[in-house]
């Protein structure tokens, strides 16, 4: 059998190991938050945001940010039907309702026209998720948000390195949320980041992140509100500091992998890959191919073919409205159709060119079967 090609794994070097070792040995007492502070400072500088709070997950960052915006019982948050459950779960936890709209056929991100139609008196926010590192049409969404006096939230979990009209993904909305899961371009194993340039929102989330204890509260162990415990550990942040110091290298490698796939599939209009619209640059976290419906190629056939080649490719997200605990919305035609003829491709940082060639050969070979 051919050697296994994994779809993802992190790039960890002696730099991250050294920082994590130092945090484990010395990051206690008055140094227990030292790497967290360094990580937050470095990340917000990279992003161009005023404030950052390291969290235990992107889901936690979304949960606290939405809570700070006052989203709660009976409210609605509009989001794309094509997403991972982590984007919708905080809405449900807060007692609100996710309202699923269709995606665009090229970027696979939420359709602004569908967002406009979905707004009701109960709409409390719009959640823009930059799927697979692709970019939402932020100008169109911001115009809708402004028209209806709504906050526009960015779930940039998968979009480190992506740039929209000169602005980094995650830096444009009322707040942004990032994931540092082990599959991501920048990893801390598990972890996330809340980012914003709204000082009042930052202060509220900072309080929420530490059991509701405001940093201005002079009384020790006196919470000012019921908060959460979504803080990142100092050891995780130490890994993050090393990763941020290498972030340009990590993003460039992801882009090189994406560009290889783009070049291999050029001249095959039956195969679409992550769309890069004018004035955008994709961080290309997860290269993904979608076959034209006319090919008859299905997700199941793709899975079988990749399995035979001992390649670990993962499926496109199922529409959230197809899950049993949500109401079906098959009118979201692209969200329900595209996953059935698409696949995510391996893109870990140290994948070799022969391995990339094997993957591309499977994708192209499907057209001949």
Whether residue 80 is found in the same domain as residue 107 = yes
pLDDT score recorded for residue 134: 98
> Would you say residue 145 lies in a domain?
yes
Q: Does 136 score more than 90 pLDDT?
A: yes
- pLDDT tens for 226-247 read 999 999 999 999 999 999 999 9
Question: Per the structure, how many domains does the chain have?
Answer: 2
Q: Where are the alpha helices (DSSP H) in the chain?
A: 14-26, 34-47, 58-68, 85-93, 112-118, 138-147, 199-208, 234-245, 247-265, 299-308, 333-337, 353-365
Tell me which of 28-42, 111-125, 207-221 is least confident: 207-221
Whether residue 263 is found in the same domain as residue 231 = no
pLDDT score recorded for residue 369: 78
Domain boundary among 245, 263, 283: 245
> Would you say residue 2 lies in a domain?
no
d(C-alpha 177, C-alpha 317), whole Å:
19
Dihedral of alpha carbons 364, 365, 368, 369, sign: negative
> Would you say residue 67 lies in a domain?
yes
Domain boundary among 214, 245, 276: 245
Q: What is the mean pLDDT of the chain?
A: 97
pLDDT score recorded for residue 51: 98
Dihedral of alpha carbons 19, 158, 5, 256, sign: negative
> Would you say residue 155 lies in a domain?
yes
pLDDT score recorded for residue 334: 98
Whether residue 35 is found in the same domain as residue 57 = yes
> Would you say residue 313 lies in a domain?
yes
d(C-alpha 42, C-alpha 149), whole Å:
32
Whether residue 115 is found in the same domain as residue 233 = yes
pLDDT score recorded for residue 170: 98
> Would you say residue 5 lies in a domain?
no
Whether residue 80 is found in the same domain as residue 227 = yes
Whether residue 144 is found in the same domain as residue 229 = yes
- The CATH number linked to 261 is 3.90.1150.10
Whether residue 238 is found in the same domain as residue 272 = no
Question: What average pLDDT does this structure show over 72-94?
Answer: 98
Domain boundary among 197, 217, 245: 245
pLDDT score recorded for residue 1: 82
Whether residue 140 is found in the same domain as residue 286 = no
195 beta partners? 52, 176
Whether residue 223 is found in the same domain as residue 80 = yes
Whether residue 166 is found in the same domain as residue 267 = no
179 beta partners? 192
- pLDDT tens for 169-181 read 999 999 999 999 9
- The CATH number linked to 217 is 3.40.640.10
Whether residue 163 is found in the same domain as residue 252 = no
> Would you say residue 7 lies in a domain?
no
- Structural domain boundaries enclosing 347: 248-368
Tell me which of 1-5, 18-22, 185-189, 318-322 is least confident: 1-5
d(C-alpha 246, C-alpha 177), whole Å:
20
Whether residue 206 is found in the same domain as residue 104 = yes
d(C-alpha 287, C-alpha 108), whole Å:
12
d(C-alpha 332, C-alpha 330), whole Å:
5
Q: Does 72 score more than 90 pLDDT?
A: yes
Question: What average pLDDT does this structure show over 173-196?
Answer: 97
> Would you say residue 351 lies in a domain?
yes
């Amino acid at each position: 059998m051919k050697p296994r090609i994994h779809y993802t794994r992190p790039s960890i070097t002696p730099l991250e190991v050294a920082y994590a070792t130092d945090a484990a040995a010395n990051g206690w007492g008055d140094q227990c938050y030292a790497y967290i502070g360094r990580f937050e400072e470095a990340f917000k500088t990279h992003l161009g945001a005023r404030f950052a709070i390291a969290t235990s997950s992107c889901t936690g960052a979304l949960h606290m940010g939405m809570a700070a915006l006052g989203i709660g019982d009976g409210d609605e948050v509009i989001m794309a039907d094509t997403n991972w459950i982590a984007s919708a779960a905080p809405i449900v936890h807060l007692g609100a309702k996710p309202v699923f709209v269709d995606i665009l056929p090229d970027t696979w991100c939420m359709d602004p026209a569908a967002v406009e139609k979905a707004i009701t008196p109960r709409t409390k926010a719009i959640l823009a998720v930059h799927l697979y590192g692709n970019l939402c049409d932020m100008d169109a969404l911001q115009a809708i948000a402004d028209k209806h006096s709504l906050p526009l939230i960015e779930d940039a979990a998968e979009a480190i390195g992506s740039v929209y009209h000169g602005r980094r993904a995650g830096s444009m909305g009322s707040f942004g949320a990032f994931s540092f899961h082990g599959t991501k371009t920048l990893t801390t194993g598990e972890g996330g980041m809340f980012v914003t340039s709204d000082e009042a929102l930052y202060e509220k989330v900072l309080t929420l992140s530490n059991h509701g204890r405001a940093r201005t509260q002079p009384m020790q162990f006196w919470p000012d509100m019921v908060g959460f415990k979504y803080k990142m550990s100092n050891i995780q942040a130490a890994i993050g500091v090393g990763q941020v110091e290498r972030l340009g290298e990590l993003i460039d490698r992801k882009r090189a992998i994406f560009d290889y796939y783009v070049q291999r599939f050029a001249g095959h209009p039956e195969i679409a890959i992550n769309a890069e619209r004018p004035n955008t640059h994709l961080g290309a976290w997860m290269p993904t191919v979608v076959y034209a419906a006319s090919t008859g190629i299905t997700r199941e056939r793709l899975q079988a073919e990749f399995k035979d080649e001992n390649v670990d490719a993962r499926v496109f997200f199922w529409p959230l409205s197809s899950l049993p605990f949500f109401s079906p919305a098959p009118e979201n035609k692209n969200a329900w159709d595209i996953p059935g003829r698409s696949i995510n491709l391996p893109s870990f940082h140290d994948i070799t060119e022969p391995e990339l060639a094997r993957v591309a050969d499977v994708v192209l070979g499907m057209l001949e079967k």
